[in-house]
Amino acid sequence: MGSFKHTTVIARPVQEVIDWHLRPGALTRATPHWAGSVELDKGVEKGMQARLKVAVPATKGLMTRNWTALIIEVTDRSFTDTALEAPVAQWQHTHDFLETANQTVVRDSIEFTLTPKDAVKERAVAKNSGALEFAGNALTGIEAISDKVAERFFEKVFQARGARIEADLEFQERYADVAPQTIVIAGVSGMVGRQVSALLTTGGHTVRTLVRRAPQAEGEYRWDPDAGEIDESVFEGADAVIHLGGASINTRFTEKNKKKILESRVKSTALLARTLARLAGENKGPATLVVASAIGIYGADRAGEILSEDSTAGRDFLAEVCARWEQAADPAREAGLRVVHVRTGIVLTPLGGALRLQLPLFLTGTGGTVGKGENIQSWISLDDIAGIYVHSVLRENVEGAINAVAPEPVANKKLATIVGKVLKRPAVMRAPRLTSDALLGKEGTDQLVLADQNVSNDKLTGTGYVYFHDTLRRALESELG
């Protein structure tokens, strides 16, 4: 049996740190994105479970293993979990919170037993694992490594966790003047939605979710945008609504997919806006609606311009989608609600989007640019896009369109170079656009991969938003470990 201990010193009172850890969403926020993702995170109570997808070391989340944890003990200053399902034979993790000089020492103590290599092989054969998956198990998987290698991996994870927890506590302090609110979120199961929800709940706010299936848990309410149906009880006593839903744009731009991309955004936003407008007319319902949008509204070919929220809209497909998406919220605005359109840049994270699609190339040393690499890309980290949504809800001086981009737009060539440096891999290849065309079609490649958009963040910073990651290098080091 192996053992591992790690201590993190946080310059916060111990009760503040404990309260943060016990709230729903804490595990989601503490987990480094390169180390995996959290699928179920309802907080810390005895008997409660959490479900994760844990990254195989060195794959940056491209290969994952299921992990289910059970909380077996909770005291005033500690809690302990054990693994019900995991890529290890045994696991018990105790979190202790110690107070010293108005600081908190978080002490993580783990007892673990790795799965014997023979059992790993038997498991892989029994599951008919493919050659790539088995190779990942045998060479880099948690199941097949030594105690010392495992401890080095744990050390890296817990160092990153400590930094993330401290950053989140600083974020929450900036909004400590806002009384706890009740927020309705549509699209909470997506990559961004999970982080937005967790950032709100760890700040002491209550989240209700709109789901398209039958509700299965407390706080879930059903809606069906295609049928124009919504359970309006979700809005009773709520302060704001965040709408993140919409079909993925990372697909071939066929006429069928383009229709789905457009209608999934416009219909759902229109339903929310009409419903909230009617409730406002009855002096009921939330006073704020925050809706996703994208910098695609400016059009893909804007070389040589600096784009602000007042810039003209483009004329290509994604520009039309974004314009109609934003217009769908007009009934809520006309009824007096504060409406915010979060025009999102390229979200850089290994959990999804463009970076995840390119990671296999970078990890094998064949990453690089598409085309000449001179097109300017306006990006944002996953932590910051979540932070901007929370900021938009909690700060009343945010209204209308807001560009959710970092302060440092970069040429595609520079972005590829920095990804390579962070991963310690070469990034000198130039990928033929044929590869991208095969995935997205010519239109998709032109509007997503080769878009040239230098987008200003002046309005956002003018509202007081403070970034988690204000430089590309810092963002990628956090996202990719």
Q: Tell me phi and psi for residue 374, to 5 degrees.
A: -90, -10
* Pairing assessment for the beta strands 90-100 and 78-85 based on DSSP bridges: antiparallel
Q: What pLDDT, on the 0 to 100 scale, is given for residue 290? A: 98
Q: Which two tokens stand for residue 35?
A: 């180390």
Instruction: Write the secondary structure of the chain as one string of H (helix), E (strand) and C (coil).
Output: CEEEEEEEEECCCHHHHHHHHHCCCHHHHHCCHHHEEEEEECCCCCCCEEEEEEECCCCCCCCEEEEEEEEEEEECCEEEEEEEECCCCEEEEEEEEEEECCEEEEEEEEEEECCCHHHHHHHHHHCCCCHHHHHHHHHHCHHHCCHHHHHHHHHHHHHHHHHHHHHHHHHHHHCCCCCCCEEEEECCCCHHHHHHHHHHHCCCCEEEEEECCCCCCCCEEEEECCCCEECHHHHCCCCEEEECCCCCCCCCCCHHHHHHHHHHHHHHHHHHHHHHHHHHHCCCCCCEEEEEEEHHHHCCEEEEEEECCCCCCCCCHHHHHHHHHHHCCHHHHHCCCEEEEEEECEEEECCEHHHHHHHHHHHCCCCEEECCCCCEECEEEHHHHHHHHHHHHHCCCCCEEEEECCCCCEEHHHHHHHHHHHHCCCCCEEECHHHHHHHHHHHHHHHHHCCEEEECCHHHHHCCCCCCCCCHHHHHHHHHC
Q: What pLDDT, on the 0 to 100 scale, is given for residue 451? A: 95
pLDDT along the chain (481 residues), means of 10: 93 96 98 96 96 90 94 98 94 96 94 71 43 39 67 93 97 97 96 97 98 94 96 98 92 94 97 98 96 98 97 97 98 98 97 89 88 94 98 98 97 95 90 77 89 97 98 96 89
The one-letter amino acid at 429: M
Contact criterion met (CB below 8 Å) for 89 and 118:
no
Q: Is 441 left (phi over 0), alpha (psi -120 to 50) or beta?
A: left
Distances (CA, A) of 62 to 23, 189, 438: 28, 19, 21
Name residue 186's beta-bridge partners: 210, 243
Q: Tell me phi and psi for residue 190, to 5 degrees.
A: -80, 175
- For 300, residues 6+ apart whose C-beta sits below 8 A from its C-beta are 314, 316, 318, 319, 446, 447, 448, 450, 451, 452, 453
- For 148, residues 6+ apart whose C-beta sits below 8 A from its C-beta are none
Q: What pLDDT, on the 0 to 100 scale, is given for residue 121? A: 44
Angle subtended at Cα 398 by Cα 294 and Cα 178, rounded to the nearest 5 degrees? 125
Residues 170-199: b if buried by 16+ CB within 10 A, e if exposed: ebbeebeebeebbbbbbbbebbbbbbbbbb
- Round to whole Å and give the CA distance between 324 and 297: 10
Residue recorded with tokens 């000089």: 101
Residues 49-70: pLDDT tens digits? Answer: 999 999 988 889 899 999 999 9
The residue among 261, 268, 281 whose CA lies nearest residue 322 is: 261
Contact criterion met (CB below 8 Å) for 428 and 369:
no
- Round to whole Å and give the CA distance between 202 and 183: 13
Up-side HSE of residue 210: CA atoms within 13 Å toward CB?
25
- Round to whole Å and give the CA distance between 233 and 217: 15
Residues 327-357: pLDDT tens digits? Answer: 999 999 999 999 999 999 999 999 998 899 8
- Round to whole Å and give the CA distance between 191 and 319: 23
Q: What pLDDT, on the 0 to 100 scale, is given for residue 437? A: 81
Q: Tell me phi and psi for residue 476, to 5 degrees.
A: -70, -35
Q: What pLDDT, on the 0 to 100 scale, is given for residue 143? A: 52
The residue among 394, 410, 1 whose CA lies nearest residue 199 is: 394
- Round to whole Å and give the CA distance between 15 and 102: 10
Q: What pLDDT, on the 0 to 100 scale, is given for residue 126? A: 42
Angle subtended at Cα 328 by Cα 323 and Cα 333, rounded to the nearest 5 degrees? 110
Q: Is 339 left (phi over 0), alpha (psi -120 to 50) or beta?
A: beta
The residue among 373, 345, 392 whose CA lies nearest residue 450 is: 373
Dihedral sign of CA atoms 462, 402, 178, 331 in order: positive
Domains in the chain: ranges and CATH: 2-172 (3.30.530.20), 178-480 (3.40.50.720)
